[in-house]
A and B are shown apart, each in its own frame.
Chain A
Amino acid sequence: QSALTQPPSASGSPGQSVTISCTGTSSDVGGYSYVSWYQQHPGKAPKLMISEVTKRPSGVPHRFSGSKSGNTASLTVSGLQAEDEADYYCSSYAGSNNLVFGGGTKLTVL
């Protein structure tokens, strides 16, 4: 299965909003409402930020939100803070008990 497509980098100033896209196909992102987003700081394990397209696990700030349109899912970070600087990965169920990840986006807070 091919990896989902994410922009390699994104940036914004503190307080601004930034949106990261995750493009797949009708066999993964477009076919299921099972897109998740993970935050990974350098040298750390990934942390679940969004599950099932829009669900925010307990403890994740409301500044993080998810959405999907067709074959593209998006993660929006509103009110950017310095601690949001990290790598972000999307994932999607791809059918037949397979899961595919995106290549990752490095978010820089200017």
Chain B
Amino acid sequence: EVQLLESGGDLVLPGGSLRLSCAASGYTFSSYAMSWVRQAPGVGLEWVSAIGGSGEPTYYADSVRGRFTISRDNSRNTLYLQLNSLRAEDTAVYYCARGYVSSGWFDCWGQGTLVTVSS
């Protein structure tokens, strides 16, 4: 069974940093691109970033480019998202998802991890 499990969400001060992790199991992790998608409270979904199966290429939404960094460790079957210079508007549940931005689909999602940016 394919499973994705996020962790690392927390309450952080504006301007702070955080690293999210997503542990994958049940499939050959390196064979698939991965993305991070976030959902602010009571709001819709927003694609954040994507990474190829080998670790390249990487892509970012305009709203996070230059502040967030996506990476993966295929030896550990783990996806990461480094969040820097956090703002209140980054407050959201962050989901990792398996799939391809260029084909527009994500067929497996984690349960999400909550990031709250507040003073």
Q: Which residue numbers of A lie inside 8 Å of B, CB to CB? A: 1, 3, 32, 34-36, 38, 44-48, 51-52, 57, 89, 91-93, 97-104
Query: Contact at B95–A36, with CB atoms within 8 Å?
Result: no
Cβ of B28 within 8 Å of any chain A Cβ, yes or no, is: no
The answer to whether A46 and B104 touch across the interface, beta carbons within 8 angstroms, is no
A35-B104, A48-B105, A93-B102 known; A99 and B47 CB under 8 Å? Answer: yes
Q: What's the nearest-Cβ distance from chain B to residue A51, in Å?
A: 4
Residue in B45, B59, B110, B112 whose beta carbon sits within 8 Å of that of A101 in the complex: B45
Closest chain A residue to B109 by CB distance? A45
**A77 CB to nearest chain B CB (Å):** 19
How far, in Å, is B38 (CB) from chain A's closest CB? 10
CB-based contact B110/A93 at 8 Å: no
By the criterion CB–CB under 8 Å, are B109 and A47 in contact?
A: yes
Cβ contacts A to B, 5 pairs, < 8 Å: A47-B109, A52-B105, A99-B35, A101-B47, A102-B44
> What is the minimal beta-carbon distance from B110 to any residue of chain A, in angstroms?
6
Q: When chains A and B are docked, how far (Å) is the Cα of A104 from the Cα of B110?
A: 19
Bound-state CA distance A48–B99 (Å) is 11
Q: Decide if B50 is an interface residue (CB 8 Å cutoff).
A: yes
Chain A residues contacting B1 (CB-CB under 8 Å) are none
Residue on B nearest A35 in the bound complex, by CB? B104
